Each structure stands twice: as C-alpha cells, then as structure tokens.
Chain A
Amino acid sequence: MTKLFRPLALSAALLSFLASCHNDSPSPTPTPTGAGQYAFVINEGNFSNGIGSVSRFDKTSKNLVADAFSAANGGAVLGSVVESMTVVDTLGYVVVNNSNKIEVVSLPRFKSKATIAGLNQPRFVVRSVANPNRAYVTEWLGGPFPAPYTAGRISVIDLTTNKVVSTIPVGINPEKPVLVGGKLYVPNTSSSFLTVIDDAAPSNAPTTLTLPAPAGSLAADKNNSLWALCSTDYASQPATLLHFNASPSAGTIANAFPFPTVGSGSGLRISPDGSQLYYSYGKGEYRMNITDAALPTTPLIRRSFYGFNIDPATGTLYGTDALNYSNPGLLLRYQPNGTKLDSTTVQVSPNGVVFY
C-alpha cells in the first residue's frame, strides 16, 4: 500500500539497506568450500509485495533460474525479505527475515526439506565448528521503525531436528557472525560492542568486546585474526577498519584504519585464501592486502554494490546492484583484477551470492 505505508516501507527499505548489506563468504573453517558450478543470488524482494527469491546461476552453462524455490516446489513463494543463505553440507538454510522462518532446501535443486519456525526477524546462520550438528542464527528484537529495536538474540538450532533448542542474548540488531579461534563474534550494528560466544560451550554467558563504534561486518583472515568494519553512523562519523590480534591476545586491537571521509564504508569481505580484504566505500569497491600499512586510495571497481562476494573456486568477483530496490536488480561478474566479465538481470534487491 502506498498510503502512509510507503514512507514507512521506504524507511524500512532504507534500514534494510543500511543494515543488511553484509553477507560474508564462509569463514575459513571446514564447511563445503563452494567449489561447485552454482552461484545462488539472494533476492530480498519488494517489501510491500512480500515476495523474495533465490536465483540459481549455473556458471558453466550461464543459465539463470530466476526463482529456484518456486520452480522446485510447485510455484510456492519463498517468503518476505530473503536475507541470506548458509550452506550446511548439501543443504541450504535460507533465512527469510520478514516471514520469521528458515527454509531448509536441498542443493542445488532447492527442493524444500524442512522449515524452522519460531524465530523473530532472523538474519544470518553460521554453523558451529565444535558441534557440526549445531548452528547459530542471529535475530533482531523490537521494532519496526519507529519503535526502537531492543537487544537481539542468537537462537541455537539443532540441525538434526531443525528446531531451536536455546537462545543467547546479544546486542541490538546483530548481523552476520564470524567463527574464528573457537569463538563466535557477533557484530551488533546498533551497539558499540561485539558479543563473543564460546563455540564449544555456547550456554556459558557471552562476553563482550568494546568497539569505538558499532561494527557492521566482520571477517577472519588466514592468520585467524579478526577484522571489523565499524561504520554504521554514515552521516557524522567516518568509518574505521579495525584489525584485532590473533589468539591469545584476541581482544586487543593491532591496527586501526580510519576512512578519509564520512558517508560510507561497509560490506567487509575476505578472499577465500584469507589474504585480501574487500569493502565498499563511496562509489567503489576496494581491495586491501591484510599486510598493507594503509587503506587503498583507488578502488578496484568503480561501482557501488549492494552485495559483493568472491567465488572460492575461481576467484571471480560477483557484485549485485539493487538499482532502485523495486526493479529486478543486476548480477555483475568481474575478473580478479577488476575487469568486467558479464552481467545478468536477477530479481528485486539482490543482496549477495552464495556459492555451492
């Protein structure tokens, strides 16, 4: 409805945009490395319609199935605001944020296997290393705008039964966590701290790691040290890229890289070999080596992406452009050196790519 809903829907879309452009490639832990031929594009969909989807792109044949779930499940709609997907062995856990559920599908066919309900505004799923039958999903609590969001939580899922078994309190608006050195680090995009959970014993009370500003995205490099891009207050503060020391000094900051101007800085990603960082800043996508002493001055690609991921099999760069968030967006592919390869139209608001 376009009545008063439109400004609210626009604000919600804006918030969705501000908070959801983080979809990390899997952190370097033993899960499938995505060496197959498929790239799944996560399309949030138009918020008012409530129809999101996942498109399946075959890298060898260049064939695109616009709505893989609908095609495999008799025309069923995946749900409202498809936020992310996490690969667990041969299954995909598709988080449908505004339908409060996770759809478990077979890969690559996308046939529905199970549905996890009982969630509240779920965001991202990360599989445990200590117990491969366990996964964590971050959830927001409170809202919607203009009501305030309250401290969110993580629901712990038993992957054998696909049910929520317990919850862990975290900060406000948690996004995609990163598991490194036996610890799950949760970026809270409206709280200036990371919540740290012990992967081996998640029922222990979580600890916190204070930050100068809320972190939007995290990445773990090949040395098992954590990087955080603190950048959620676009209007008044420049973003900062923080590099933490590896274990055992995991809570201390090794280096801080402030960005030159206010206005942006988001979408921190790590290359599959754990040596190159990627992030979006201004109207470009930048690449930085983890050993660099300063932020790069020129972008790798002069384009602002809504989602950005690196293919672990080939190193090809996949960027998504949501255009105006109501038209079908674009999937653009680049060679590792930034040269454009090709592009194709996907569905509305594509926010990232998952490889299988």
Chain B
Amino acid sequence: MSAIDRMADRLTRTLAQRTSRRGVLARIGAGLLGAAATPLLPVSRAGAGIPNGRDVPPTTTGNPEDPGNPRSCDYWRYCGIDGFLCSCCGGSASSCPPGTEMGPITWLGTCQNPADEKHYIIRYNDCCGKFACKRCFCNRNEREEPKYRPQKNNEIHWCLGTKSTAYTCSVAAIVGVALERDDAGGA
C-alpha cells in the first residue's frame, strides 16, 4: 500500500468513527434551511446600487395649476402609478424617452389635483423598447384594482402592441376632468 493510500484509509476510517451519517444529514439540512432563511433577514437589498432617483434633480412643471415635482412619486398625477418615472429617464410625466415607443393601450384612473381640487382622468401608459430605466421607482396604486378588472390594473405589462415588449418606464398623462359627484351618498 502506498503512503497516500494509507493516509486516505486512515482519514476515512477516522471520519467514519467520529461522525454519524444522520449527523451529516442534519448538518446539510440545517445548511439548506439557513440558506433559505438568509434572504428573509432584514437587509436592505431593494435598490441597492440603483440610483432610484436620489441623484435626479427635482423639476417643476412651471405651471402653478399643475404643482409638484414630476420626478417625485408624490407628484399628484402619479396617484395610481406602478413603475419607473419616465420624467427621471429622459422623458417627461407625459412623454416617452427618446428611442422608446408608448404602448397604445393601458389603464386609466383618476387623481386629485391639489391646486384646484378637481379629479382628473389620468392614463398610465408604459414606454417600451429599451432596458428598464430603474430610476424613480414608484408604486402608489391608488384606486387600482385586481387583474380581474384589467382596465383598472397597473400590474399588467402594458407594452402591448408595440414593436418591442421591453418595459422602460411609465408616464401619467391627463385625459380629462372627472365629475365631482356629491350625490353618491355616504362614504
């Protein structure tokens, strides 16, 4: 027997004597569980390394009737938005960045303009054709409804009917003024 064989023989025998098979299984099991639990630990991962709008300078519409910073999730028109703001991605609150194409179909909701307290109808179109912008992610979802009511759902990938189905960012364009119903009772 060569020296290497003798050494391997001794090592395996020692290992077999000192450890139980169940012990090994238990340790592997614990390792697997631990690996599964690690992502649950409270570590900030969302947006790690992504600018997410922190380096995007604020802007205004320049119109006192349309107040707020369109590069912020708090801007009134974004009350139902779910996605990256095109205004942080080379476009504006209602126009797509160059090189992207606006999806023709989408959902519509209403948001209240704090300047005149009227409710405006907003369409939330997706801009498509480039990689996800990954800046200024907003997810406000006001008056958004589940997918069984698609005309009111913002989780649908609305890059439909465009040349590319790659989602880049979202806009919030004003379509009209909703009625202020004061006769609907209650609520």
Q: Do A and B bind each other?
A: no
Binding site for A on B (CB under 8 A): none
